């Protein structure tokens, strides 16, 4: 079991990040080097400045708000929570003063960010099971949601235990020890990380997160990089 823990928590993490960064980088370079479309793809009426409105379209999803307001609420909650989780994870590596401009406890959100994210993912999943979105969906759509849900639920469970039930065996310092050792390329798995009762939660969380990172560059989640450029095409 120790070997499995080791493989998932050290080599697989490096592989996952390498695939994520190289894969995403290569795909971005390739697509942005493709020739531009020979004609305009704008729609009218035109509003200016186009680039600013494209930024608004990308981050505020006004078309979704207008046509599917419930979905919009969940999408906004999902994306904001996802961003906050990334910040939360950065703080599990080291103390960033810039993030602490608004002083808060690490891990951010007292467990509620993970809860919101889990509920949003369940909403997306069940919404997809209903017609007509069911007929539009392909297996990738379900796999991604399930993978994210598993990642989030195991990660959040550790957070909830600490924040809500006073579970104190694995705290910020232990995570920082492990994650910063990975960042500084001196990977170390202390017993404080591998022995407590919640270690298997951490291993599963990291395992699913690794799979997600490996899948990312080859999936529709690349919309996180493409959407702005596409909205700019529409705005002209």
Partner 1 sequence: MDQKTRDDLLKLFQSKLNQAMRFYLETCSRCGVCVEACHVYASMGQVKNISAYRHEIVRRIYKKYFKSRGKLWPSLGEAKELSEMALEELYEAAYTCTGCRRCMVYCPHGIDTQMIMSIAKLLLVGAESEPEILTMLADTSIEKGKSLDLFKENFLTGIKKLEAEVVKKWKMDAGETAIPVDVKGADLLYVALAGAHSIIPAAAIFNAARENWTLSFFEAVNFGAFVGDPTRTKLIMDRIINEAKRLGVKEVCVCECGTAYRVLKQMKEKQPFSVSSITEVHARYLREGRIKLDKSKTKSPVTYHDPCQIARNAGVIDEPRYILQHLTDDFRDMTPDIRYNWCCGGGGGLVALGDETLDFRMKSAKVKVDQVNETGAKILATACENCHTQLSNLNDHYQMGVDVRFLSSMIADALIQ
Number of residues that bind partner 1 (CB under 8 A): 45
Q: Does 101 bind partner 1 (CB under 8 A)?
A: no
Would you count residue 64 as binding partner 1 (CB under 8 A)?
Answer: yes
Helical residues (DSSP H) of 129-138, grouped into ranges: 133-136
**Which of 2, 97, 131, 168 lies at the binding interface for partner 1 (CB under 8 A)?**
131
Q: Say if residues 84 and 106 touch (Cβ distance below 8 Å).
A: no
Whether residue 226 is preceded by a cis peptide bond, meaning omega within 30 degrees of 0, is: no
Q: Give the CA-trace dihedral at 51, 53, 54, 59, to 10 degrees.
A: 130
Whether 24 and 226 have beta carbons less than 8 Å apart is answered as no
Ranges within 12-31 binding partner 1 (CB under 8 A) = 31
Among residues 52 and 229, whose Cβ is nearest to partner 1? 229
Q: Does 68 bind partner 1 (CB under 8 A)?
A: yes
Tell me: does residue 83 bind partner 1 (CB under 8 A).
no
Least CB distance from residue 148 to partner 1, whole Å? Answer: 13
Is 137 an interacting residue with respect to partner 1 (CB under 8 A)? yes
**What is the biggest distance separating any 2 CA atoms in the chain, rounded to whole angstroms?**
62
By CB under 8 A, what part of segment 213-232 binds partner 1? Answer: 218, 220, 222-223, 226-227, 229-231
Give the residue among 137, 126, 152, 130 at the shortest CA–CA distance from 212: 152
Note whether 35 binds partner 1 by CB under 8 A: yes
Segment 161 to 190, residues that bind partner 1, using CB under 8 A: none
Among 18, 22, 26, 43, binds partner 1 (CB under 8 A): 43
By residue count, the chain amounts to 236
Residue 55 binding partner 1, by CB under 8 A: no
Closest approach of partner 1 to the CB of residue 89, in Å: 24
Q: Cα(53)–Cα(224) distance, rounded to whole angstroms?
A: 17
Contact with partner 1 (CB under 8 A) among 1, 29, 138, 185:
138
Binding-site member from 141, 180, 189, 194 for partner 1 (CB under 8 A): 141
Alpha carbons 24 and 16: distance in angstroms, whole number: 12
32 binds partner 1 (CB under 8 A): yes
Three-class HEC string of 75-126: HHHHHHHHHHHHHHHHHCCCCCCCHHHCCCCCCCCCCHHHHHHHHHHHHHHH
Query: Site for partner 1 (CB under 8 A): which residue of 2, 101, 135, 191?
Result: 135
Hey, what long-range contacts does 55-64 have (CB within 8 A, 24 or more apart)?
55/228, 55/231, 57/231, 57/234, 57/235, 58/227, 58/228, 58/231
Q: Which residues bind partner 1 (CB under 8 A)?
A: 31-32, 34-46, 57, 61, 63-64, 67-68, 71, 127, 131-133, 135-141, 143, 218, 220, 222-223, 226-227, 229-231, 233-234
């Amino acid at each position: 079991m120790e070997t499995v823990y080791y493989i998932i928590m050290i080599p697989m993490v490096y592989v996952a990040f390498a695939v994520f960064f190289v894969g995403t980088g290569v795909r971005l370079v390739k697509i942005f080097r493709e020739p531009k479309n020979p004609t305009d793809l704008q729609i009218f009426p035109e509003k200016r400045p186009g680039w600013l409105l494209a930024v608004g379209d990308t981050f505020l999803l006004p078309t979704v708000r207008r046509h599917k307001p419930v979905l919009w609420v969940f999408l906004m909650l999902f994306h904001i929570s996802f961003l906050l989780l990334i910040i939360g994870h950065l703080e599990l590596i080291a103390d960033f003063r810039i993030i602490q401009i608004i002083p808060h406890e690490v891990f951010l959100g007292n467990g509620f960010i993970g809860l919101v994210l889990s509920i949003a993912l369940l909403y997306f999943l069940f919404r997809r099971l209903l017609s007509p979105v069911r007929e539009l969906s392909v297996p990738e759509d379900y796999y991604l949601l399930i993978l994210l849900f598993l990642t989030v639920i195991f990660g959040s469970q550790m957070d909830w235990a600490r924040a809500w039930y006073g579970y104190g065996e694995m705290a910020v310092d232990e995570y920082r020890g492990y994650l910063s050792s990975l960042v500084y390329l001196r990977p170390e798995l202390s017993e404080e990380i591998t022995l407590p009762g919640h270690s298997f939660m951490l291993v599963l969380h990291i395992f699913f997160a690794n799979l997600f990172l490996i899948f990312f560059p080859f999936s529709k989640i690349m919309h996180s990089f493409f959407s702005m450029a596409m909205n700019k095409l529409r705005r002209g």
